[in-house]
Homo-oligomer: A and B are copies of this chain.
Amino acid sequence: MSKNNIDKKIILGEEFIPKQWYNIQADLPKSLPGHYNTRESRLATVDDFSMLFSKAAATQEFSKERFIDIPQEVREIYKIWRTTPLVRATGLEKALGVKSKIYFKNESVSPSGSHKSNSAVAQAFYNKSEGITRITSETGAGQWGSALSMACKEFDLECMVYMVKISFMQKPYRKSLMEVFGAKVVASPSELTKTGREILAKTPDTTGSLGDAIAEAIEDTLTHKNSKYSLGSVLNHVLMHQTVIGLEAKKQMEAVDAYPDIVIGCLGGGSNFAGVAFPFLMDKLQKSTPLRAIAVEPSACPKLTKGEYTYDFGDSTGLTPALKMHTLGHNFTPQGIHAGGLRYHGASPLVSLLVDEKVVEARAVAQKEVFEAALLFARSEGILPAPESAHAIKVAMEEALKAERDGTPKTILFNLSGHGHFDLSAYDNYLKGNISDCDYSQEEVNRNLKSLPKINT
């Protein structure tokens, strides 16, 4: 039970939906190493990115303007679920027996059940306004695919999703949700693309990979008229779209006279962490406001804590420009027993730079402790978290318990990026004792990285 006289939820009216995104490129401690066009051995340009993305998104990718206007049409769609609640986790605080104040931003209330909708709506709008009629993308677990499907429906765009075959088979409900929102969803590798047909000819029994799905989506984009590709994380413009999370959270914390000592987000590609943390990091970078920002990754996919900060491709076949990032190598796939999401081999260039500059801390957590934290959170706060988000919950708990031991209660903010309504089979496995930890030694990571050809920049 929560305590009295504390606002459980801080909810602001829709006039508080931010009017601009925050672009951290304006405030970086050193300039961001450019994306690299390896085919032509030069830095990638807006024009390179415009081949695949809307002109507006491509321009944002390279922009150093501090604030970029959110189009009114995007804010209108945001109103469906934004502003999202900032919640004081009184139940969790009580369960832990801590005096620290734990807040979370509840992004699970969106149409797709996760923060992914924030960028999907923006990308769909820009494509629509540039005369595009069809967007292609890939999805693994399905959060991004759901978000893009709904966003395309709002702007009457066709949506084509290549869904990694193993997810397609194991998560039929995610697929159905995308279809409810009007998208066309196929299992990847598929018969629809040359890439897919070649993979199937070679390995007919493959369960697919995100790399294959990206390759199919890109081929599909390039072979269809008025078609563009869309990505749900990693890139600068995608992270920027997510800053509505932290910008709202700042206003909400202001309303209760609070400011976080620690901001926490889980990290797959980086959009979740960046969304909640970048607007607070603005204060740290501009005014040296004391703040710890922690990006949490699974020990099953430890690019920030064990990977190398180097140029690597975004997909497994080298179709994309090379990005300077913390990476495990673009051929990396986590072990099959990993159920908690956040499986991408690289971290966004922006977060990678901030980790390298020691502005942001990175931490890896193991699978079982993540599900244990998720269960405690569900039981004390009444919200079933996505396993991804539970990585942030776990570290929020650790930090609150440490602060208690130190006798210095903190104000902690984490991003509850999504709900776990479509992840109950993973929870079921945990409850049955069928979830185990999996991680990689530094030697294994290094060995894999060495096996890859060095990218010349």
Q: Which A residues lie at the B interface, using CB under 8 A?
A: 1-2, 4, 7-9, 11, 13-14, 72-73, 76-77, 79-81, 91, 109-111, 113, 150, 153-155, 172-173, 176-177, 179-182, 375, 378-379, 381-384, 421-422, 424-425, 427-428, 431
Q: Which residue of B lies closest to A150 (CB)?
A: B382
Contact (Cβ within 8 A) B8 A79: yes
> Which of B1, B77, B109, B182 is the one whose CB lies under 8 Å from A73?
B1
Contact (Cβ within 8 A) B176 A427: yes
> Which of B7, B79, B176, B428 is the one whose CB lies under 8 Å from A14?
B7
Contact (Cβ within 8 A) B109 A109: yes
Q: Give the 10 A-B residue pairs with the shortest CB-CB distance, closest first.
A: A111-B382, A8-B79, A173-B424, A421-B421, A176-B424, A176-B428, A80-B382, A153-B379, A180-B378, A2-B76
Chain B residues near A173 (CB-CB < 8 A) = 421, 424-425, 428
Chain B residues near A378 (CB-CB < 8 A) = 180-181
Pick 26 A–B contacts, CB within 8 A, sort by A: A1-B76, A1-B77, A1-B155, A2-B76, A2-B79, A4-B72, A4-B76, A7-B13, A8-B14, A8-B79, A8-B80, A9-B14, A80-B383, A111-B383, A150-B382, A154-B382, A172-B424, A172-B425, A173-B421, A173-B424, A177-B424, A179-B427, A180-B378, A180-B379, A180-B424, A421-B422
> Which of B2, B79, B375 is the one whose CB lies under 8 Å from A9?
B79
Number of copies: 2
A79, B91: Cα distance in complex, Å = 11
Chain B residues near A155 (CB-CB < 8 A) = 1
Chain B residues near A9 (CB-CB < 8 A) = 14, 79
> Which of B72, B111, B176, B431 is the one whose CB lies under 8 Å from A180?
B431
Chain B residues near A428 (CB-CB < 8 A) = 172-173, 176, 179
* Minimal beta-carbon separation of A332 from chain B (angstroms): 30
Chain B residues near A13 (CB-CB < 8 A) = 7, 11
Assuming the contacts A13-B11, A150-B382, A173-B425, asked whether A375 and B180 have C-beta atoms less than 8 A apart, the reply is yes
Chain B residues near A2 (CB-CB < 8 A) = 76-77, 79-80
A292, B109: Cα distance in complex, Å = 32
Chain B residues near A76 (CB-CB < 8 A) = 1-2, 4, 8
Assuming the contacts A8-B80, A9-B14, A421-B113, asked whether A384 and B73 have C-beta atoms less than 8 A apart, the reply is no
Q: Which residue of B lies closest to A111 (CB)?
A: B382
Task: Knowing that A80-B383, A176-B427, A179-B431 touch, tell me 17 more A-B residue pairs with CB under 8 angstroms.
Answer: A1-B73, A1-B76, A1-B154, A1-B155, A7-B13, A7-B14, A8-B76, A80-B91, A80-B382, A172-B428, A173-B424, A173-B425, A176-B428, A179-B428, A180-B375, A180-B424, A181-B378
A201, B427: Cα distance in complex, Å = 34
A153, B378: Cα distance in complex, Å = 10
* Minimal beta-carbon separation of A121 from chain B (angstroms): 10
Contact (Cβ within 8 A) B384 A180: yes
* Minimal beta-carbon separation of A202 from chain B (angstroms): 31
Chain B residues near A379 (CB-CB < 8 A) = 153, 180-182
* Minimal beta-carbon separation of A396 from chain B (angstroms): 18
Contact (Cβ within 8 A) A382 B81: yes
Q: Which residue of B lies closest to A374 (CB)?
A: B180
